Structure 1
Amino acid sequence: MILVNEEGLILSLNRPATRLFTSSPSTLVGTSIFELIPTEEFKKNLNKKQKSGVSISLGTKQLVGNISFFENDPYRGIYLLILKDLSPIQVLQNQIQELNKTKQLFDLILDQLEEGICVIDEHGTILFYNRKGGEMDALEPEAVRGKRVHDVWIVDENTSTLLTSLRTGRTLNHRETQFTSHGKAITSLARTVPLFLGERRAGAMEISKDITEQKQLAETIMQLQKQIKGDTASLSSLPSHKNNTRFQFENIIFSSREMAQTVEQARRSARSKSNILIVGETGTGKELFAQSIHNESPRRNSPFIAQNCAALPETLLESLLFGTAIGSFTGAVDRAGLFEQAQGGTLLLDEINSMGTSLQAKLLRVLQERKVQRLGSSKVIDIDVRVIATLNEEPLQAIAGDRLREDLYYRLGVVNLEIPPLRSRKDDIRVLIDHFIAKHAELLDVSVDGLEFDIYHLFMNYHWPGNIRQLEHVIEGCLNLVFDERTISYDHLPPILKNKMQQLEQTLLTEQPLQYAGSLPEQIEKLERIMIEQAMKKTDGNITKAGEHLGISRQNLNYKLKKYFIYS
C-alpha cells in the first residue's frame, strides 16, 4: 500500500511496497511515484476518481492496482494505491497451460491407436475414452468423458469389468461378441487393469482390441486346411448330412406366413439347375437356406462348398475360386479351385457384394461359359456347378454403390429369394425362443421354463439388428448366467438389452394414459389406427417400411389402410 499526494509524491508506504521497488522506506518517501512507475497510462489513472483493476508493468513483474482518492481539505487530497503482484499467479497459469497442451497431445496420440481405451477414476467417473472405443461401442467420446460408468452403460459393480477391477484390484481378461445397430457382429478382446498411485487404488483402465477380422481369417484358414487335406474324418463327423452340410428345410424354425412362403419358394427352386440369389440381412439364415436347397436338389449327393467373399483379399479369393498351376506365382502349386471341387454340386458365394468388381467380371465369364481356367494355366476345364450367392443388402443399392455388377446380378438372380428380417416376422420369435432354450439348456445342463413376461415383451418389441443369430446368442448368453432360476429375467440380459428395456419403461412412464371409453374391440381398433397412422407418417407413406415397423406384412397393412380409410 502506498499513500501519495496529488503531485504524485510518496507520503508513506508499507513494507511489501518497499520490496516491490527493492528499496527502503526512508529513500522512497518524498520520491515521485511517476519515477517508479513511469507510464502515461498510470498517470492518467490518478484523476481524483476511484479506479480498480489497473494493470501496471514493473520490470518483469505484472501488477494489478486499485486507486482510491481521499480529500484532506476542500483544496487538497491524497491517493491510496493498493498493488498486488500477479507474477506467481501468471507462472501457475503458464504451467497449467503447458500441462493442458501436454494432455491434449497425449489425447491425440491415444486417439490414433487401434485399441479402444477407457480410463475411470476411483469414483467410477470416465476420465478418458478414445476414438476407437467410441467406434466399437457406437458412442461419441466427448459425450462419454466426465460421466459415471453407470450413466453410460447399464451395468453395476458386478457386471462392469472396469468397476470390478477397481473394486477387487485384479486384472481381468475377457472376450466379448456384440452387435452394432446395423447387425454387424464385433468380437473384441479386452484387458482391464487397476491403477495405483502408491498404495492407493486410483482408478482402472480397459484396453479393447477389435479381433473380428482375425477371427474370420482364422476360421477361413481352418476351413481351407480342411479342404486342402481332404479331411474325410471331419466330414463324416458332421451331424446327419453329407457333403459338408448340416441343414435341411426341416431345420428351419418358423411359424409366420412370411417365412412359410419363403421356404416354399426355396423348396420349388431346389428342383432346377438355375443359379440362385438369396437376399437377407446379417443373421437371417441365408446359408441355412442354401444348404437346405442343396440337400433338396438332385445334386444332394455331390459336394456343397461355401466361401465367404468378405473373408479374404481379392487376389487370394481369385486363386481359391479358380485354382492355380505351377509357376503362376512364387510358391504356386497345382491346386484345384472351389469350382472344380464343387463339380456336380453347389458352390455358395456368401456376401458376393464384398467381392471386387474386377473379380466379379471374371466370375461372370465363368458362369456364362461354364468353363474355368486355373491361374497360370492354358487348360480350360468344363464345370457343372450350381452357384448360390448371398447379399446382405438390397441388390439395387449394391448396384448403385458399385458393390455389385448389374450384369452379374441378372446372371446370379435367375431365382431370387428374399429372407425377411426377424422384426418383420415377429410370430417366429416365440418358437425360436423355445427352440434355442431347448437347444442350449441341454448343452449347458440347466432347466429353464422360458422368459419372464416383461422380458418376452422386450424381445417382441426389440428390432434385432443381428436377427436370428443375435437372438440365439442372447438366449445362450442368458442361459450361461442362470443358476437355479426357472425363468430368464432382467438380471440375465446382456447390457444392450438392459438399456433397451429401461428405455421402454421410460417411454411408458412418459406416454399419455389411455382414455378408456367404449368397448374393448373399439379401443383396440382406435389404438391400431393410431399406430398405423404414426408408422405411415414416420416412413413418409412407404407401405413396405411401415409394415416392417409394425411387424406385419405389406398385404395385411394394405387391408388395414383400406379398413380405416387411411391414405398414403
Structure 2
Amino acid sequence: MKHVVLEKVWNVCFESMLIVNHEGQIKRANRSALRLFELSSKNLGETSIFELIPLDYQKFLKTNKETTGISLSFGTKELMMNVVPFKDHSLLIIKDITQQQLLKYELRQATEQKFLYDSILDMLEEGICAINMEGKILFYNKKMGEIDLREPESVKHKLFREAFPDRDEHSSILLKTSRLSKSLNYRETHFTNSGKAVTTLSKSLTLNIGSRQVGAVEILKDITEQKQLEETIRNIKNDSVTEITKKPKGKNNNTRFNFRDIVFKSRVMRQTVDQARRAARTSSSTLIIGDTGTGKELFAQSIHNHSPRKNYPFIAQNCAALPEHLLEGLLFGTSVGSFTGAIDREGLIEQAHNGTLLLDEINSMGINLQAKLLRFLQEKTIQRLGAKRSIDVDVRVIATINEDPYTAMENGRLREDLFYRLSVVNIIIQPLKNRKEDIPVLIDHFLQKHSERLQIRVDKVESEVMDIFLNYEWPGNIRELEHTIEGCINMLDGESTIAYHHLSPTFQSRVNEYTQNNTDREIPKLSLLSGGSLEEQKEKLERTLIQLALEEEKGNVTKAGKVLGISRQNLNYKIKKYNLK
C-alpha cells in the first residue's frame, strides 16, 4: 500500500526526478522527467544521464555529499538540479526554471526601463505627480519637488493626504480630477522663501487602462519667466506703436503712482518716504534697496512724479527679464546693419530723454553691460548698436536692487564703480516683517481696492486670520500680502469676512511650515534662537554689534568701521538699513 502511494506522489510531482547509479545509468524516472527529456519508460535502462546532459556532472554523482543549486542547460531550457546520494545510487531532482529566468530577465528589463523613464521625467522642466485611485503617489519628479519645496523621495509611495495634509479634494486639482474623472486647468501665483513671485500653470488628467480609470496625473509648469518675457515684448511693441516724443506730456508719462499711494503707518516708513520726497527735488542718480515686493517701483514712480521731470517720460525695464544681448539693444537702441534684420530704433534711454529711466534689479544685468551703462552715466551720451554717432541724452537713472549691494559686489553681480555712481542717493525700504504695524492698514487698503474691482463685498478679516498675517514673515512682502488678500476675496461665496478656509492651500502650507519651524525653535536647549531664523539672528547680532561700536566710538562712523573691520561706506549703508541713530 505504501509503495502504491509513494508511486503516485513520485509521478505527480512537478519536479523531474531520476534515480541513477554512479555510472550515470538511469534506473527510474517520474513522468515529469520523461516529458522533460522525451524518454520512454521501456528503454529507460539503456539511457545514461550524461547523454542527456553532455557536461561533466559525474563528480556530483560519485560524492557522498548532498549537492544543491547546480545550474545546467538542456536545449533551450534552463534547469536547476539537486543531487541526493544513497548507497549505490543518487536521486536527481531537476526543476525547469526557464520561465522563472525569463520573468527575472523581463523584470530586470522593466526595472531598467522604469529607471530610464524616471530619469527622463526628472530632467523635464514641468513638475509631474501621479496617483492611483486610492490616492497613493506613484510618481513625483524633481521639478515638482522644487516647486512644492519637497524632497521627492519623502513623498513617493505615500498617500497624497499624508504627504500633503493641508490639501483636500476641494483644494487639490489632482484629487479633484481623480474624483470627478475629468481634466482640469489651474493657474496660481505664489511666493518662495526668498520672496520671489512664481506663477504656475497646472493641468490634471485621468490615467486610464482601456476604459478603466486607474489614477490621475498633474503636470505643473513654471511660467514665471515666460510671463515676464511676454510683458517685456508687449511693452516693446507698445513703444514701437506709440512714439514717445521729447515734448512735455503732462500727466501721460507712463506712471500710475504718487507718494499718496504709499500706504503705511510705521515711523520707519514715514522716514523713508520723507527721504524719497527730498531726493525727488534733484536729478541725481538714485539706488533704491529693498527685498522683492517691498514697492521699489512705486517709490521710483513717486520720485519721478514729484520731480521737475514729471511732465516727461518715465521708462521702466526689469534687467532680469531679458538676456544681456537683447537688453543691450533694448536700452541703447539699434541701427541698420548692427545685426541681421536690425532697424534704426530708439533705445529706452533715448525714449526717456528729459525724463526718468528705472532699471529694476540692476544686479541681474551682465557685468559687461554694466560697464557700458556706467560710461553713459558719466558722459551722458550713448551709441546705438552698430552706430558710430554719439547721441546726447538727459536722463535721470533710478536703479533698484533686491539684495545687500555689498554682497552683490563681493559676489561679482554688481560693479563697484557702478554702485558708487548710482548710489548718489540711497533709499532703503524695510521689509514688511520689520514694520508689522503697516500690515493692518495695508490689508484695509487692499480689501477696498480689490472688493471694488471684483464687485465682491468684503468688510474685514477674522481675528484668527489677522493674527496669522501679523505673525507671518511675508518673504514676498507687500506684493505677497496683496496677492493673498485678492485670492481670499475670490474665494468668498456670499460671505463678507475673510476666514482661514479662504486662504489658498499653498499659503496655508507655508503658514503651517513657518509655525512648525517656530515651534521647533522653542526647545529649551535652543532658547537663544527662539527669536527667529538663522538669517534673522544674524541681522539682530549685526545690528547689536554696530550699535555697540557706534556707542564705543561716540558716533564716529569711520572709527566704528575700523573696529568692525568694514568700510565707512558699508557701515553707513548698514546704519540706514537698520535705521540706527
Report whether the alignment pairs 1:254 with 2:261: no
User: TM-score, normalised on structure 1?
Assistant: 0.82
Give the corresponding residue for 1:349: 359
Give the corresponding residue for 1:94: 105
Give the corresponding residue for 1:463: 473
Give the corresponding residue for 1:482: 492
Out of 108, 113, 117, the residue aligned to residue 106 of structure 1 is 117
Give the corresponding residue for 1:215: 227
Give the corresponding residue for 2:136: 125
Asked if structure 2 preserves the Cα contact closer than 8 Å seen for 1:536 and 1:543, the reply is no
Asked if structure 1 preserves the Cα contact closer than 8 Å seen for 2:264 and 2:438, the reply is yes
Distance 1:125 1:258 in 2: 50
Change (3 A) 1:509 1:176: closer
Give the corresponding residue for 1:563: none
Residue 389 of structure 1: CA displacement? 0.4
Report whether the alignment pairs 1:387 with 2:397: yes
Give the corresponding residue for 2:175: 163
Change (3 A) 1:303 1:43: same
Asked if structure 1 preserves the Cα contact closer than 8 Å seen for 2:319 and 2:362, the reply is yes
Residue 476 of structure 1: CA displacement? 0.7
Residue 254 of structure 1: CA displacement? 2.1
Q: Deviations over 1:477-509 (max 9, x none)?
A: 111011123432232222222223444666788
Give the letter for the 1:488 counterpart.
I
Change (3 A) 1:545 1:480: farther
Q: Deviations over 1:523-559 (max 9, x none)?
A: xxxxxx9855544994697344687xxxx99879x99
Matches within 5 A, 1:145-544: 145-153=156-164, 154-230=166-242, 242-503=252-513, 533-535=529-531, 538=534, 542-544=538-540
| Identity fraction in percent | 52
Q: Deviations over 1:402-430 (max 9, x none)?
A: 22211111110111222222223223222
Unaligned 5+ residue runs, structure 1? Answer: 71-75, 515-528, 560-567
Distance 2:473 2:44 in 1: 83
Residue 373 of structure 1: CA displacement? 3.2
Which region of structure 1 is more displaced relative to structure 2, 303-312 or 146-155?
A: 146-155
Provide the secondary structure at the position in 2 that maps to 1:344: coil
Distance 2:468 2:380 in 1: 50
Residue 287 of structure 1: CA displacement? 0.2
Which region of structure 1 is more displaced relative to structure 2, 283-292 or 307-316?
A: 307-316
Give the letter for the 1:226 counterpart.
N
Change (3 A) 1:343 1:187: same
Residue 40 of structure 1: CA displacement? 5.2
User: TM-score, normalised on structure 2?
Assistant: 0.80
Asked if structure 1 preserves the Cα contact closer than 8 Å seen for 2:251 and 2:311, the reply is no
Asked if structure 2 preserves the Cα contact closer than 8 Å seen for 1:424 and 1:553, the reply is no
Asked if structure 1 preserves the Cα contact closer than 8 Å seen for 2:472 and 2:511, the reply is no
Distance 1:354 1:332 in 2: 25
Change (3 A) 1:273 1:505: closer
Report whether the alignment pairs 1:18 with 2:21: no
Give the letter for the 2:469 counterpart.
F
Give the corresponding residue for 1:565: none
Residue 30 of structure 1: CA displacement? 6.9
Give the letter for the 2:115 counterpart.
Q
Provide the secondary structure at the position in 1 that maps to 2:43: helix
Out of 93, 97, 101, the residue aligned to residue 82 of structure 1 is 93
Provide the secondary structure at the position in 2 that maps to 1:183: coil
Change (3 A) 1:171 1:304: same
Provide the secondary structure at the position in 2 that maps to 1:223: helix
CA-based RMSD of the aligned residues comes to 3.6
Give the corresponding residue for 2:127: 116
Unaligned 5+ residue runs, structure 2? Answer: 1-16, 552-563, 565-581
Asked if structure 2 preserves the Cα contact closer than 8 Å seen for 1:448 and 1:486, the reply is yes
Provide the secondary structure at the position in 1 that maps to 2:240: helix
Asked if structure 1 preserves the Cα contact closer than 8 Å seen for 2:461 and 2:497, the reply is yes
Provide the secondary structure at the position in 2 that maps to 1:479: helix
Change (3 A) 1:326 1:124: same
Residue 278 of structure 1: CA displacement? 1.0
Asked if structure 2 preserves the Cα contact closer than 8 Å seen for 1:42 and 1:56, the reply is no
Give the letter for the 1:156 counterpart.
D
Report whether the alignment pairs 1:64 with 2:76: no
Asked if structure 2 preserves the Cα contact closer than 8 Å seen for 1:451 and 1:487, the reply is yes
Residue 366 of structure 1: CA displacement? 1.1
Residues paired across the two proteins, number: 531
Provide the secondary structure at the position in 1 that maps to 2:198: strand
Which region of structure 1 is more displaced relative to structure 2, 220-229 or 58-67?
A: 58-67
Provide the secondary structure at the position in 1 that maps to 2:42: helix
Provide the secondary structure at the position in 1 that maps to 2:185: strand
Q: Deviations over 1:7-62 (max 9, x none)?
A: 66544321002222221233334755455456556634764444444444445433
Distance 1:512 1:300 in 2: 52
Distance 1:543 1:116 in 2: 35
Give the corresponding residue for 1:43: 59
Distance 2:319 2:526 in 1: 45
Change (3 A) 1:79 1:512: farther
Asked if structure 2 preserves the Cα contact closer than 8 Å seen for 1:539 and 1:545, the reply is no
Q: Deviations over 1:57-108 (max 9, x none)?
A: 44543323344456xxxxx465443321111111111122222233333334
Change (3 A) 1:353 1:509: closer
Give the corresponding residue for 2:557: none
Asked if structure 2 preserves the Cα contact closer than 8 Å seen for 1:241 and 1:247, the reply is no
Distance 1:540 1:432 in 2: 23
Change (3 A) 1:45 1:274: farther
Asked if structure 1 preserves the Cα contact closer than 8 Å seen for 2:472 and 2:514, the reply is no
Give the letter for the 1:91 counterpart.
L
Distance 1:16 1:243 in 2: 95
Distance 1:65 1:43 in 2: 14
Distance 1:554 1:267 in 2: 28
Distance 1:305 1:507 in 2: 42
Change (3 A) 1:193 1:508: same
Give the letter for the 1:105 counterpart.
L
Asked if structure 2 preserves the Cα contact closer than 8 Å seen for 1:2 and 1:81, the reply is yes
Residue 368 of structure 1: CA displacement? 0.6
Which region of structure 1 is more displaced relative to structure 2, 172-181 or 105-114?
A: 105-114
Give the corresponding residue for 2:44: 28
Change (3 A) 1:42 1:204: farther
Change (3 A) 1:304 1:536: closer
Provide the secondary structure at the position in 1 that maps to 2:464: helix
